[in-house]
Structure 1
Amino acid sequence: MAAATMLVACSSGGVSDASQKGACAPGVTNDSIKAGILYPDTGVMGTQFSGYRAGVTARFAEQNAAGGVDGRKINYIWQDDQSDSGGSLQGARTLVGEGAFAVLEYTSFSQGSAQYLDDQHIPVVGVADQPLWGDHDNMFTYTFVTDAGRSTTTLADFVRQQGGTKAALVVTYLTEASKLYAAGVRQSLENAGIPVIQDDIDSTNATDVARKIIGAGADTVIAASPLDLYTGVLDAAVSAGHPVKVAVSAVSYDPRVVAAYGKRLVGTYSQLTFAALERNLPAQRRFLQAMAAYSPEIQPAGQNSAIAGYINADMFIRGLKTQQGCPTRESYMRGMRSITDYDADGMMVQKINMTADHGELDRCSDFVRIAPTGDRFEVVNPQPLCGQRIGNG
């Protein structure tokens, strides 16, 4: 972790000249800026988030190789929230205490630290796991997918496209985020006239779950559950002569999944908040090149959490580029709110207005499926699918 630096006061206007010696804001000096990273490196969610820090490392190193931002190189310190809301608060306190200018966060437990970071006026850049991200002006995200009482038509439109008529939810309620995901899926499907059954899965017996789905006559499965359970349910349905027509998993877009389960999950769909790497866009090629150069230990590179880390770091950098001279936390947040067209240089499926879209659900998604060969993903539609927002608020 970076050593502490002597702090000197900023000018009364909140922004000092870049030539000023020392630091003018916590974590900021003439030639460096220190970010804090908060994510679950261990605990029940550790494996799912394992590539996050590597993605951040790759994007920061890429920027530093180009001279940094306004002459400042970016470094970071990090904390493990241990897949726990209490760990989230402790980690946030440690990062702030060690002088992080802002926090980059990817977790399922942001409720633990959100109010503390707001009270301390710390910018937070990350992936919104809960609706509270829309309630705090210091929090900035490139994706907002769950909110109580609200959803979008996007998933239901896709299910209809693929011929689904009745759906079963296979959700393991490990976190508040999974509960909100299930509620949003139900609202989207039922708004489109697609009946939804069996959303109270709390079983590790895949055969039992499949029997209930078959008994209800569901031809569609939407899952936010461990892949062992999800795969077992699909296997059991096929063995019983009831193959699922449309199967969507919230955690299947990862090349490690193809390696471990590919043949058993042929045709499984994933809904993405960013453009699928299979589109081979220039920004995606840069991501893969940066991962190979600066985070080669992550193999394969295209893990969902690594993509999230890279985009989060890019978003943090975009905010820094709105600043002149020496940024303060307040001026940085004003700069972030001035951004009207953020798309991670083409990695996103839509441009984001950091003010108008704050707390608004994503309307657009990319969809991929595991190819018939079982060894890769393939894009489903020529373009991402965009629906409409529905529900209260």
Structure 2
Amino acid sequence: MAVAMASVLALALAACSSPGSTSAGVSGDTIKIGLVTSLTGTASTDFAESEAGAKARIALLNSKGGVNGRKLELVTADDQSTAAGVVTAVHQLVERDKVFGIIGMSTTLFSATKYLQKQNVPVTGAGFDGPEWGQKPNTNMFSTDPIDPSYPPTTIWGEFFKSIGVTRVAGIAFADIPSSSGSLKQVQSSVEAAGLKAAYTNVSIPYGTTDFTAVVLQMKKAKVDGYVCSCDKPTELALATAVKQAGLNAKGILSTAYAQSTLDDASIKVTVEDLYAYSYYVPYELHTKGTDAMLAALAKYDKKYEAGDIPGYGLSSGYLAADMMIKGLEKAGDKPTRASFISGLRTVKSYDADGVLPAPISFAPDQFGKSLSKPCNYFVQLVGDKFVPQPKVCGTLVKNS
């Protein structure tokens, strides 16, 4: 009842605001931004450090005076790695903390997006949790890497598997995370478009699974020579370990292995050695303006980060989601409102965070819910004590998808 009354009050206050007034969370010298992520629970392994990434990007901005004279203030809420937890966290940020917008780094954010859309709250993130980022009416949501089942797949995965000699691919996904099975379907379409065989598929893996004995036996039976797991780091490492222990000669592409933690842990490094990892961003070894700026900001503002290390997915995604929030605020004008943020960011047709992203993305209304026609990505391979970037792979949309 208390939450419902708070919602009614917030709507009433919004209705009283004049068209030119600023939105909730905006004062004369600050803008309050929320971050919802997994500080505790099963997903915290990958996403707890997203807070440090967002803080580093915001600290870099504030050191330069902020946006239009306003500095950003970050308020973080823990989703506890559950659907109920993310709903509570989002309501807390919007109704109690009065944030302007939300950085969404949660595997269960899909449970709260209907509320965020109704409140017209701008949301930036990496789109890894579910299908809502590219679906109407959620035009308030902006993703750096949308993994939406409604997006047409590209030829990239299939072409890369082909380039490393794979002919029969196994795909593994979680049963209870929509984007996991959705992104795996995209990979399978890509594999088949390249003339390869999607030889084994399992989308019934419970989140947190570590025993893949039976799965690997099925992969052997299907004679796969390549595999991908649309999973979190502990799960895909467990799969890679089981594959090697079973003597299955298959080349894996891992989703979260491109990180310093892989190099620092001897047991993990042995598991991942000679395998490949998907790089959501331009590999840091290639030193673009954006990636070098990110590493410098992390070294300066994140006490746990050591200069020269490879940031994990959560840390990098938190930084970039904050960068996108900043881009939206810049486009929102001197008197930012949630509406002007959304309409302003929708005018951006080529965003790549100064070269952090492997290909620019468009937020234009006619591109909402669509992939780029010329998408590109990178993969890296662990060779000895370092990751070696593979040649950039650019593709096209899979026809008839």
Aligned mates of 1:327, 1:178 — CA distance in 2: 35
Aligned mates of 1:332, 1:211 — CA distance in 2: 51
Q: CA deviation at 1:154?
A: 0.9
Could you tell me which residue of structure 1 aligns to residue 291 of structure 2? 284
Could you tell me which residue of structure 1 aligns to residue 4 of structure 2? none
Aligned mates of 2:376, 2:14 — CA distance in 1: 45
* Match for residue 340 of structure 1 among 349, 354, 363: 349
Aligned mates of 2:316, 2:283 — CA distance in 1: 10
Could you tell me which residue of structure 2 aligns to residue 376 of structure 1? 386
Could you tell me which residue of structure 2 aligns to residue 121 of structure 1? 120
Matched, 1:151 2:153: yes
* Match for residue 250 of structure 1 among 255, 269, 286: 255
Matched, 1:390 2:398: yes
Q: CA deviation at 1:174?
A: 4.5
Could you tell me which residue of structure 2 aligns to residue 317 of structure 1? 326
Q: Could you give the per-residue CA deviations for residues 303-339 of structure 1, whole angstroms, max 9, x where no partner exists?
A: 1111101111111111111233211111111111111
Secondary structure at 1:33 match in 2: strand
Aligned mates of 1:106, 1:392 — CA distance in 2: 32
Q: CA deviation at 1:42?
A: 1.4
Secondary structure at 2:45 match in 1: coil
Could you tell me which residue of structure 1 aligns to residue 132 of structure 2? 132
Q: Residues 121, 266 of structure 1: CA spacing in aligned structure 2 closer, same or farther, 3 A cutoff?
A: same
- Give the residue type in structure 2 aligned to 1:385: V
Secondary structure at 2:332 match in 1: coil
Aligned mates of 2:168, 2:212 — CA distance in 1: 19
Q: Residues 148, 70 of structure 1: CA spacing in aligned structure 2 closer, same or farther, 3 A cutoff?
A: closer
Could you tell me which residue of structure 2 aligns to residue 21 of structure 1? none
Could you tell me which residue of structure 2 aligns to residue 223 of structure 1? 229
Could you tell me which residue of structure 2 aligns to residue 102 of structure 1? 101
Q: CA deviation at 1:287?
A: 0.9
**RMSD after superposition:** 2.2
Does structure 2 conserve the Cα–Cα contact (< 8 Å) formed by 1:145 and 1:361? no
Q: CA deviation at 1:206?
A: 3.7
Q: Could you give the per-residue CA deviations for residues 243-274 of structure 1, whole angstroms, max 9, x where no partner exists?
A: 22x21112212211222211332121122232
Could you tell me which residue of structure 2 aligns to residue 20 of structure 1? none
Aligned mates of 2:395, 2:53 — CA distance in 1: 29
Q: CA deviation at 1:194?
A: 1.6
Does structure 1 conserve the Cα–Cα contact (< 8 Å) formed by 2:151 and 2:369? no
Could you tell me which residue of structure 2 aligns to residue 78 of structure 1? 76
Give structure 1 stretches of 5+ with no counterpart: 1-6, 17-23
Aligned mates of 2:400, 2:316 — CA distance in 1: 31
Could you tell me which residue of structure 1 aligns to residue 315 of structure 2? 306
Secondary structure at 1:311 match in 2: helix
Structure having the higher helix fraction is: 2
Secondary structure at 1:47 match in 2: helix
Q: Could you give the per-residue CA deviations for residues 119-138 of structure 1, whole angstroms, max 9, x where no partner exists?
A: 01111111112221112111
Q: CA deviation at 1:75?
A: 0.6
Q: Residues 167, 235 of structure 1: CA spacing in aligned structure 2 closer, same or farther, 3 A cutoff?
A: same
Q: CA deviation at 1:391?
A: 6.2
- Give the residue type in structure 2 aligned to 1:35: I
Q: CA deviation at 1:11?
A: 7.6
Q: Residues 318, 254 of structure 1: CA spacing in aligned structure 2 closer, same or farther, 3 A cutoff?
A: same
Of residues 98-107 and 175-184 in structure 1, the stretch that sits farther from structure 2 once superposed is: 175-184
Q: Residues 54, 10 of structure 1: CA spacing in aligned structure 2 closer, same or farther, 3 A cutoff?
A: farther
Could you tell me which residue of structure 1 aligns to residue 220 of structure 2? 214
Aligned mates of 1:9, 1:221 — CA distance in 2: 53
Q: Residues 133, 91 of structure 1: CA spacing in aligned structure 2 closer, same or farther, 3 A cutoff?
A: same
Normalised to the residue count of structure 2, the TM-score between the two structures is: 0.86
- Give the residue type in structure 2 aligned to 1:40: S
Q: Residues 161, 80 of structure 1: CA spacing in aligned structure 2 closer, same or farther, 3 A cutoff?
A: same
Does structure 2 conserve the Cα–Cα contact (< 8 Å) formed by 1:153 and 1:388? yes
Q: Could you give the per-residue CA deviations for residues 322-357 of structure 1, whole angstroms, max 9, x where no partner exists?
A: 233211111111111111121111111111211143
Aligned mates of 2:264, 2:318 — CA distance in 1: 22
Does structure 2 conserve the Cα–Cα contact (< 8 Å) formed by 1:40 and 1:46? yes
Q: Could you give the per-residue CA deviations for residues 150-202 of structure 1, whole angstroms, max 9, x where no partner exists?
A: 42211001111111111112334352221212222222212323222332264
Aligned mates of 1:83, 1:210 — CA distance in 2: 28
Normalised to the residue count of structure 1, the TM-score between the two structures is: 0.88
Q: Residues 8, 122 of structure 1: CA spacing in aligned structure 2 closer, same or farther, 3 A cutoff?
A: closer
Does structure 2 conserve the Cα–Cα contact (< 8 Å) formed by 1:150 and 1:392? no
Secondary structure at 1:369 match in 2: strand
Secondary structure at 2:398 match in 1: strand
Could you tell me which residue of structure 2 aligns to residue 263 of structure 1? 270
- Give the residue type in structure 2 aligned to 1:25: S
Q: % of aligned pairs identical?
A: 27
Q: Residues 234, 100 of structure 1: CA spacing in aligned structure 2 closer, same or farther, 3 A cutoff?
A: same
Does structure 1 conserve the Cα–Cα contact (< 8 Å) formed by 2:33 and 2:102? yes
Q: Residues 301, 290 of structure 1: CA spacing in aligned structure 2 closer, same or farther, 3 A cutoff?
A: farther
Matched, 1:294 2:306: no
Give structure 2 stretches of 5+ with no counterpart: 1-12
